[in-house]
């Protein structure tokens, strides 16, 4: 049995049926309501969150505390495990910083904090591949090398049907949100160097989806992809998008996943996106 264990956070949006018996622990992020704090996937699920959003309840998110990480890290370290924590980008969340603080309370070298430099299934891909590599008997150095390859080559895109939830969460200014609404602009977000930025804009929802499809087709011209279609409360649209892509590109491994509640706080219901990286990275291992 390997002495390695992977820890990730719930923003990675990994479905439970994918995790299975892998050496992988998912630590929940916090969803903040005006009167209480709830742990994603434990105290609140996505369906509850969408209902609150539609009722106009103001929601925000916060990262796990160092104490939250210690509750996960310490038992694993007592079992003799070395931990690699694959976490949401440090440029959009304090999750990596909390994990590093917890790591410094434990024996030196017990925990390696790995900044995924992305979010959603971009992080999920890295955590999943790392856990599968651990299960296959790969060394710590081999796992870290694999993580770096996927981090360098993976891409994540998210189309937002409205900017109102980003405005409410404080992620864009009121002026930007109003401008987007008045011009009927649909925004496609991506992660670049760890920052969540606007990748593209379209005048219609279908235009935004078409832009993402084009990005997938362009990437697939170099070979098969590991691909995820991701959504918030739009399972039918997500499945339709996956099936369209399946007819056009070679998918080495595919997923349709619901984004985490912590991400839905900022984008709201109806988000649709893709995440992908070259399948060759896994095939060469």
Mean per-residue pLDDT over the chain, rounded: 90
3-state secondary structure of 186: strand
- C-alpha to C-alpha distance for 180 and 190, rounded to whole angstroms: 17
3-state secondary structure of 238: helix
Per-residue model confidence as pLDDT tens digits over 142-181 = 999 999 999 999 999 999 987 776 665 555 444 454 454 5
33 and 59 Cβ atoms separated by less than 8 Å:
yes
Residue 106's CB is within 10 A of a number of other CB atoms, namely 16
pTM of the model: 0.93
Query: Closest Cα to residue 151, out of 192, 94, 95, 212?
Result: 192
Domains and CATH numbers, the chain: 4-153 (3.40.50.10170), 155-283 (3.30.1180.10)
Pick the residue with more confidence: 229 or 180? 229
| pLDDT at residue 254 tops 70 | yes
Pick the residue with more confidence: 20 or 198? 20
- Pair of tokens at residue 27: 């630590």
What pLDDT sits at residue 228?
98
Query: Residue 249, class by beta-carbon neighbours within 10 Å (0-12 exposed, 13-18 middle, 19+ buried)?
Result: buried
Q: Please give the average per-residue pLDDT across 249-256, as a whole number.
A: 97
- Pair of tokens at residue 145: 């090398």
Q: Please give the average per-residue pLDDT across 183-206, as a whole number.
A: 84
């Amino acid at each position: 049995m390997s002495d390695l264990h992977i820890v990730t956070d719930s923003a990675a949006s990994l479905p439970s049926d994918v995790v299975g018996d892998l050496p992988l622990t998912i630590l929940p992020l916090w969803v903040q309501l005006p009167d209480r704090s709830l742990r994603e996937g434990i105290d609140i699920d996505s369906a509850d969150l969408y209902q609150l959003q539609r009722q106009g309840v103001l929601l925000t998110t916060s990262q796990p505390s160092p104490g939250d990480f210690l509750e996960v890290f310490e038992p694993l370290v007592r079992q003799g495990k070395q931990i690699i924590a694959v976490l949401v980008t440090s440029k959009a969340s304090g999750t990596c910083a909390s994990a590093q603080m917890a790591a410094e309370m434990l024996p030196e070298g017990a925990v390696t904090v790995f900044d995924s430099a992305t979010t959603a299934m971009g992080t999920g891909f890295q955590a999943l591949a790392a856990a599968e590599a651990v299960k296959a008997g790969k060394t710590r150095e081999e796992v870290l090398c694999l993580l770096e390859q996927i981090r360098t080559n993976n891409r994540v895109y998210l189309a937002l049907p409205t900017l109102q939830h980003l405005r409410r969460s404080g992620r864009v200014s009121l002026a930007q949100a109003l401008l987007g609404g008045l011009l009927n602009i649909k925004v496609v977000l991506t992660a670049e160097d760890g920052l969540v930025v606007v990748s593209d804009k379209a005048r219609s929802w279908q235009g935004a989806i078409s832009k993402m499809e084009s990005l997938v087709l362009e990437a697939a011209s170099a070979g098969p992809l590991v691909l995820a279609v991701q959504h918030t409360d739009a399972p039918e649209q997500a499945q339709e998008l996956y099936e369209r892509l399946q007819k056009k590109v070679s998918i080495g491994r595919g997923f349709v996943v619901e984004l985490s509640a912590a991400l839905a706080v900022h984008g709201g219901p109806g988000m649709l996106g893709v995440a992908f990286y070259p399948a060759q990275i896994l095939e060469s291992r």
